[in-house]
Amino acid sequence: MYELFEHTADLGLRVRANSLNELFADAGTALSSMIVEDLIAVQPVVRVPIEIVGTDREYLLFDWLRQLLHHFDDEHLVFIKFDVNVEDSGLKAVVWGEPLEPDRHGRSHEVKAITYHELKVEPTADGWLAEVIVDI
């Protein structure tokens, strides 16, 4: 589960999940929802493997979202399906999506960057919580 919240000239993302893998997958979905208006219209036709090395969960989340944004900026790919495995040494994931089609997907926000501001990933009584501010 994720929600977006206003943050001055930026947009915040708050994600709650039962597991760390689900948290990162939901954060990916949330980022896609910031980019396109009609997330349901995105089809999982392009498969992209992603590996990120790192042990700090906050930085791992930052690098994860930055990598997804990089694929959007460079290849215009927007993702809808996320298979994420967070390990002690980093994460391995496979994501699926397709090139952006503005007429079909619509555009929601122009996400310029993922920020470190108020970045958090922490365990809670019922799972995990993450918060990230993105520059729009």
What pLDDT is stored for residue 8 in this prediction?
Answer: 63
What pLDDT is stored for residue 42 in this prediction?
Answer: 97
Q: Please report, for the domain that includes residue 104, its CATH number.
A: 3.55.10.10
Distance CA 101, CA 31 (A): 17
What pLDDT is stored for residue 76 in this prediction?
Answer: 96
Residuewise pLDDT in 10s, the chain (136 residues): 776 666 566 788 999 999 999 999 999 999 999 999 999 999 999 999 999 999 999 999 999 999 999 999 999 999 999 999 999 999 999 999 999 999 999 988 888 989 998 899 999 999 999 999 998 8
What pLDDT is stored for residue 9 in this prediction?
Answer: 61
Q: Quick one: residue 48, left, alpha or beta (phi over 0 = left, psi -120 to 50 = alpha)?
A: beta
Instruction: Indicate the helix (H) or strand (E) that contains 48.
Output: strand 46-53
H-assigned helices in 1-136: 20-35, 57-75, 102-105
Q: What is the pTM of this model?
A: 0.91
- Return the closest-CA partner of residue 62 out of 16, 94, 36, 24: 24
Structural domain for 105, as ranges:
2-135
Domain count, the chain: 1
Cβ-Cβ contacts under 8 Å for 63 (sequence gap 6 or more): 52, 54
What pLDDT is stored for residue 5 in this prediction?
Answer: 63
